Structure 1
Amino acid sequence: MTHHKTMINTLLVAALFGGSVQAADVPAGTKLAPEQVLVKGNGSEPATLDPQKVEGVPESNILRDLFEGLVNSGPKGEVLPGVAESWETKDNKHYVFHLRKDAKWSNGEPVTAHDFVYAFQRAVDPKTASPYSWYLEMPTIVNATEIIAGKQPVDTLGVKASDDHTFEVQLEKAIPYFVSMLSHTTTYPVPKKAIEQFGDKWTQPGNMVSNGAYVLKTWVVNERIALERNKQYWNDGKTVINQVTYLPIQSTNAELSRYLAGEVDLTYTTPIERFKQLKKDYPSELQVTGLVSTYYYNYNFKHKPFDDVRVRTALSYAIDRDVIADKVMGQGQTPAYGLTPDYVDGFKPVAQPWSKLTQAERDAKAKALLTEAGFGPGKPLKFELLYNTDDNHKKVAVAVASMWKKLGVQVSLVNQEWKTYLETKKQGQFDVARAGWNADYNEASSMLDLMQTTHGNNDGKYSNADYDKLMVESRNQVDAEARNQLYVQAEAILAKDMPIIPIYQYVTPRMVKPYVGGYPANPLDNLYSKDMYIIAH
């Protein structure tokens, strides 16, 4: 990428928007660069840019710039007003959102409560086949479960527009953290007219109508997605960055090279093997943030012998998490022995007894369990481990495979491109698969719900009625302490059943140019380009 071309585009964009705008959040005395262009590494080519069809991080990163929900996630993960300027609830079951009158679509039409009704109904409509339909089922929006199952018509969902600027949601149970769930992409409004006119092609440049701080300018598959300022955005006066480019660079080393060459301002992540050197050479540019997110491996309960808890436990015990976190990763990650990470708001996971064993003790137990399950030198356990193409995932897989080899286990590593990998997992065509879960909102339920029988991202098809009951009960608990006791019990069930292998707790290690202002330490890694700015350099 040459900067020359970008500058021409930017000057054109700046001219369109009447020159540079000094944002309210830019510290006084900051000299802004004449070219307000931000280039971000984004890992993989997005599978889709349809808010109700998205399930991955690369897609969500772009959608946060293109669309805006009822609320936004603040720099520290706090809830901030979005299209809704205020909201209220008397009982944590019936929520009323008051939409701002100046919220507009990029075509100049007003964003109304009807657009949110349409989007919420679309998310649960079986015809949409949303991988995140469960997201509206979890907070018990009235009739969501029945609609998803095809037992009720879409228009019976517990949402309504009492007028153009008042959106109401009715839940079956009191969910005190409901509003914090609404910065998620699945709940973004979408343009009904454009979807009806263009069908699946509505997300293409020229067809897409969006309501966020940016609009889709160009989309060159496997090369770049460029966005430019949305003149119609209600808060455009406070946006500074004129153009944002997302680059789908899967190789972390290639991404770093482009960053060091000045072609990328913000990386998606960093290569493990260069982390220590980067820390030494670029201490102010290497930003490491704790994340409400866990890296784990999924067992497929439909494939034998992963329906056997002895096999699942043995494979989990045999992984030396200290080695993975410190030696393989070594970027500040910490070993994970449960699904909920320590960074989550308001809940401190209780250490499971097996996490206190030495690795030698765990290895001995693992060997005994595998023998008991009928595996040994004469009958080795063989299976495939699936992961999505990424240098770091490969390193973890290679390390884990060598740890399993000590048990006589034979593993074939299979890697697939992001889109294919998501599909393979959804179809259940795997034995053991790499996974990672980023909390959608900062509460333990956003992690623990994942293991419920009906959860749309429970790819391994784990099912435990007691676990499901606990999670349903947790939604009835308005008291945070009582809720946390249920979460402790839920983690204990997972420790016993071992439906997944928790490996480490994520951090976000990212290279950020010193001239990028407004970069937040967000525990959900929810970044909004509208909050950033380029300092003169």
Structure 2
Amino acid sequence: MKKTNWLLLVLALVLSMFLAACSGGGNESEGDSGSSDNGGDSENTEEQSSGDSEQVLNITDSAEIPTMDPALATDAVAFQFLGSTMDGLYRLGEGGKPEPAIAKDHEVSEDALTWTFNLREDATWSNGEPVTANDFVYAWQRAVNPDTGSEYGPYMMGGVIKNATAIADGETPPEELGVKAVDDYTLEITLEKPIPYFESLTTFGTFLPLNQKFVEEQGEDFSLEADTLVSNGPFTMTEWNHGEGWTLEKNEDYWDAEAVKLDKINVSVVKETSTGVNLYQSGDIDRTGLSAEFVDQYRSNEDFQVEKEPTLFYLKFNQENEILGNVKARKAMQMIINREDMVNVILNNGSIPAVGDIPEDFVKHPESGEDFREINGDLVETNKEEAQKLWSEAKQELGIEDAEIGYLGGDSDVAKNLDAYLKDQLEELEGLTVNVQAVPFKERIDRDKNMEYDIQNAGWGPDYIDPNTFLNMWVTDGGNNHTGYASDEYDGMIEEANNELAQEPVKRFETFLEAEKKLIQEDAVLAPLYQRASAKLVKPYVKGVITNPMGPDYIYKYAYIEGK
């Protein structure tokens, strides 16, 4: 065996957990923005006094923002800062529950197909224009227009908003999308079918509005720099030094400006955990993620925090690769990985082994209340003997003795170390050579979209609270599939769950249970790795940060500094 105890111990001294794409095309970000954090009680913060403390929050991220265009965003970093600078119909509040934003309230028709949103009249854009119903019409039509090149527009709206799929396929003009401005402050949305989680969807970044006049004035420069962005949320981006960091400042014209306590948020790009810890100790930043080498050192520190998240990491297999197109080869790779060592020795931050495509403590059976993960149990296990047997059979079927496979990884120090561990695990399969290529986050997103990889370490955080947010990704030609996986049987189960069974919650839930078994246990589309938990240091004077199970990882609207 190539894996040795000393390698485990060495990696344990250098590895940090890198972050998932919260809804990011199957990619992951290693940045601080993907961690969950709550520096204090976040309830009723608008009534609390922040005293005389300077209202400036200093944080880090280890990845550049790939885009600030809501239609083009697919990753955790982009959605984090879109959520900080923009308001949609609703926004996430305490406990991940939608709270009014541009919409004051809404009504739903008896057949659950027509949703009418009543908009507030005191919301404005940073260019001085009022926020109106037409801004949603324009943005949503733009997101599904094939000329825009949005990945998430067709993915999030297809099969949800009437005609979205036909528009994305170029069969119907964007003007036929089921979204209508009844007047400036009344928005009517027609759904393709009843969607149990639609209110939750309206908080997501793809559904943000855009000021048409501003976007068209900027043309191709829209969203590329701080001065080509338009905001209607709690903060505006006033500085964006690409590759170095960015600055958000309080939006004084925000409709709910009185609730916003922070004057400024400074974000620095820092890729090395040790650098982040040094900056934290010197007082230059207020929060930093911890790798395994620092967890034991700071576990007893009053600033130390750990929180489990409904975010999964896994290996994606490109089935267009001849070797990875063999299901026995994929199952061998599932079984060869020692997840217990990875979470207990390597990560050492509270993460747990992932054993399926749905995280634990995420969704429960609508009648029994039993957790999805508990019902379906462990769909993968570490079994090195069986892995070698399956691998030998796969090589025989493929007519090969040795194999060489590429592995797409990240370029941060922490990502490189985790990828080294997984390379070591995979190469226990006799005759397998794994070539790791580390590239910047933005390039990984592009290469994932174009399926320019063999194996990829990817992550996914939920877009809404429903099994569909994880399982719908893998349907044939799905907008976020990018694996080459195609199964009529799997497609049929997802189709049935989201159509015929849309208003039959028990049967729908049980169909998702069977779909997960098909995906992981039978077809081995993914090799689940771990469900993320984040270990970090947070200054005790940081208060009111709300953490989310979906969408932006943090809500800074109610954050404040007290007692610094």
| Structure 1 residues 115 and 352: CA distance shift in structure 2, 3 A | same
Matched, 1:420 2:446: no
The whole-number CA distance in structure 1 between the counterparts of 2:531 and 2:292 is 15
* 1:172 paired to 2:198: no
Aligned to 2:556: 529
Work out the CA distance in 2 between the residues paired with 1:325 and 1:93: 44
Partner of 1:482: 507
Which residue in the other structure is 2:392 paired with? Answer: 371
Within the alignment, does 1:151 sit opposite 2:171 as a pair? yes
Equivalence for 2:228: 207
**Cα offsets for 1:486-522 (capped at 9, x unmatched):** 1101101112101111111112333221100012343
- 1:401 is aligned to 2:420: no
Offset from partner CA, 1:163-184 (integer Å, 9 cap, x none): 1111111111111111101111
Q: Is the 8 A contact 1:134 1:455 kept in 2?
A: no
Q: Match of 1:435?
A: 458
Query: Which of 37, 54, 60 is equivalent to 1:41?
Result: 60
Deviation larger for 149-158 or 406-415: 406-415
What is the DSSP-based 3-state SS (H/G/I as helix, E as strand, rest coil) of the residue aligned with 2:68?
coil
Find the aligned partners of 1:377 and 1:162 in 2 and give their Cα distance.
64
Residue 189 of structure 1 corresponds to which residue in structure 2? 209
Deviations 1:387-446 (A, max 9, x none): 122333323322222222222221111110111111111111111011000111122111
Equivalent position of 2:524 in the other structure = 498
Q: Alignment partner of 2:349: what SS? A: coil
Change (3 A) 1:233 1:290: same
Question: Does the CA contact (< 8 Å) of 2:355 and 2:377 recur in 1?
Answer: no
Residues 256-289 of structure 1 show CA distances to partners (whole Å, capped at 9, x for unaligned) of: 221222111133x322321221212x2x322222
Runs of at least 5 residues in structure 1 that lack an aligned partner in the other structure: 1-22
Q: What residue is the counterpart of 1:87 in the other structure?
A: 106
Deviation of 1:377 (Å): 12
The yes-or-no answer on 1:380 pairing with 2:402 is yes
Mapped partners of 1:329, 1:419: distance in 2: 24
Indicate yes or no: 2:373 matched with 1:349: yes
1:257 and 2:278 aligned:
yes
* Conserved? CA contact 2:408–2:456, under 8 Å: yes
- Check whether the contact 1:292–1:442 (CA below 8 A) recurs between aligned residues: no
Preserved contact between residue 343 and residue 523 of structure 1 (Cα < 8 Å): no
- Higher RCO, Cα 8 Å, sep 6+: 2
Aligned residue in 2 for 1:247: 268
Out of 509, 519, 528, which is 2:545 matched to? 519
Cα distance 1:481–1:66, how it changes in 2: closer, same or farther (>3 A)?
A: same
Partner SS state of residue 170, structure 2: coil
Long gaps (5+) in structure 2: 1-41, 366-371
TM-score (norm 2): 0.86
Instruction: Name the amino acid aligned to 1:427.
Output: N
Q: Give the stretch that moved more between structures: 93-102 or 306-315.
A: 93-102
Q: Give yes or no for the alignment of 1:332 onto 2:361.
A: no
Show structure 1 runs of 4+ deviating over 4 A.
Answer: 27-31, 350-357, 375-378
What amino acid sits opposite 1:215 in the alignment? T
Residues 65 and 530 in structure 1, CA contact (< 8 A), matched pair in contact too:
yes
Partner of 1:74: 93
TM-score w.r.t. structure 1 length?
Answer: 0.90
Structure 1 residues 24 and 293: CA distance shift in structure 2, 3 A:
closer
Residue 305 of structure 1 aligns to a residue in which SS? coil
Match of 1:298 in 2: 316
Cα distance in 2 for residues equivalent to 1:29 and 1:487:
44
Is the 2:50–2:261 contact (alpha carbons within 8 Å) kept by the matching residues of 1? Answer: no
The offset of 1:104, in angstroms, is 1.2
Provide the aligned length of Structure 1 versus Structure 2: 509
Q: Which is further off, 212-221 or 389-398?
A: 389-398
* Structure 2 CA distance for partners of 1:392 and 1:479, relative to 1, 3 Å: farther
Cα RMSD (Å) of the superposition? Answer: 2.1
* Aligned-partner SS, 2:228: coil
Partners in 2 of 1:433 and 1:75 — Cα distance? 34
